[in-house]
Amino acid sequence: MNVLELSILLVLVSLLAGFLGALTGLGGGAVIVPVLTLAFHVDMRYAIGASLVSVIATSSGAAAAFVREGFTNLRIGMLLEIGTTLGALGGAALAAVAPTQALAIVFGLALLHSAYLNTRPQQDRTDFGGSPDRLATKLRLDGTYPAADGSIRPYHVRRVPLGFLVMGLAGVLSGLLGIGSGAIKVLAMDRAMRLPFKVSTTTSNFMIGVTAAASAGVYLRRGYVDPGLAMPIVLGVLAGSMFGARILRATQSRVLRQIFAVVLALLGLQMLVNGLRGGM
Amino acid sequence: MVFEGECEMGASVAPWSEERVERILARLLRIGVSTAAAIVLAGGVLYLVRHGGEQPRVEVFRGEPRALRNVAGILSAAASLQAQGIIQLGVLVLVCTPIARVIFTVFAFARARDYTYVVVALVVLGILLFSLLQGR
Residue B40 near residue B87, CB atoms below 8 Å: yes
Q: Which of B95, B102, B103 to mutate to test the interface with A (most CBs of A within 10 A)?
A: B95
Residue A152 in contact with partner chain B when CB distance is under 8 A: no
% residues pLDDT > 70 (chain A):
87
β-bridge mates for residue A143, sequence order: A155
Choose the closest CB to A81 out of B47, B116, B124. Answer: B124
Give the phi and the psi of residue A120 in degrees, each rounded to 5. Answer: -80, 140
Could you give the percent of chain A with pLDDT greater than 90?
21
Whether chain B has a CB inside 8 Å of the CB on A99: the answer is: no
- What distance in Å separates residue B17's CA from the closest CA in chain A? 12
**Contact flag A57-B33 (C-beta cutoff 8 Å):** yes
User: Which is nearest to A21 in space by CA: A236, A250, A269?
Assistant: A236
pLDDT exceeds cutoff 50 at B1: no
A242 in contact with chain B, both atoms CB, cutoff 8 A: no
pLDDT at residue B118 above 80? yes
Q: What is the pLDDT of residues B35-78, one digit of tens each?
A: 999 999 999 999 999 988 888 877 777 778 877 888 888 888 88
ipTM of the complex: 0.86
- Distance separating alpha carbons of residues A202 and A73, to the nearest angstrom: 8
Q: Is the pLDDT of residue A129 over 70?
A: no
Whether residue B4 is predicted with pLDDT greater than 60 in this model: the reply is no
For the segment A87-112, the average pLDDT, to the nearest whole number, is: 88
pLDDT digits (tens, 9 = 90+) for A226-275: 999 999 999 998 888 888 777 765 555 567 777 777 888 888 888 888 88
Q: How far apart are CA A93 and CA B30, in angstroms?
A: 30
CA distance A44 to chain B (A): 8
Whether B83 and B51 have beta carbons less than 8 Å apart is answered as yes
- The pLDDT of residue A203 is 84
Provide the Cα torsion A93, A30, B46, B92; round to 10°.
-40
Confidence tier at A64 by pLDDT (50, 70, 90) = low
Residue A66: is its pLDDT beyond 90? no
Q: Of chain B residues 50-79, which have a CB less than 8 A from chain A?
A: 51-56, 58-65, 68-70
Partner residue facing A60 (CB), from B33, B41, B68: B33
CB contact under 8 A, A216 and B95: yes
What DSSP state is assigned to residue A192? Answer: I
Q: Per-residue b/e over A50-74, b at no fewer than 16 CB within 10 Å?
A: bbbbbbbbbbbbbbbbbbeebbbbb
A102 reaches B (C-beta below 8 A): no
Facing B117 at nearest CB: one of A3, A75, A218: A75
Averaged pLDDT for residues A117-141: 72
pLDDT of amino acid B96: 93
Nearest CA in chain B to A58: B33
Note whether A21 and A28 are within 8 A (CB): yes
- For residue A237, the 8-state DSSP code is H
pLDDT given at position B119: 96
Give mean pLDDT, residues A189-214: 84
**At A80, is the pLDDT very low, low, confident or very high (cuts 50, 70, 90)?**
very high
Instruction: Identify the weakest region by mean pLDDT among A40-49, A113-122, B91-100.
Output: A113-122
For all residues of chain B together, what is the average pLDDT? 84
> For every residue of A119-162, which 3-state class applies, written as one string?
HCCCCCCCCCCCCCCHHHHHCCCCEEEECCCCCEEEECCCCHHH
**Looking at the complex, does the CB of residue B6 fall below 8 Å from at least one CB of chain A?**
no
Q: Does B8 touch chain A (CB under 8 A)?
A: no
Q: Measured between CB atoms, does B35 come within 8 Å of chain A?
A: no
Please check the confidence at residue B101 and state whether its pLDDT lies above 80: yes
Q: What DSSP assignment string belongs to chain B?
A: --S-----TT-SSPPPPHHHHHHHHHHHHHHHHHHHHHHHHHHHHHHHHHHTTSPP--SS-----GGGTSHHHHHHHHHTT-HHHHHHHHHHHHHHHHHHHHHHHHHHHHHTT-HHHHHHHHHHHHHHHHHHHTT-
- CB-based contact, A243 to chain B, within 8 Å: no
Å between B15 CA and nearest CA of chain A: 15
Angle in degrees, CA B49, B50, B53, rounded to 5? 85
What average pLDDT score do residues A140-161 get? 81
**Chain B residues 79-118 with CB within 8 Å of chain A:** 83-85, 87-88, 90-92, 94-99, 101-102, 105, 116-117
Q: Least CA distance to B88: which residue of chain A?
A: A227
Q: Which residues contact A23 (CB under 8 A, 6 or more apart)?
A: A244, A247, A248, A251, A253, A256
- What is the mean predicted confidence (pLDDT) over A169-181? 88
At A143, phi and psi to the nearest 5? -145, -170
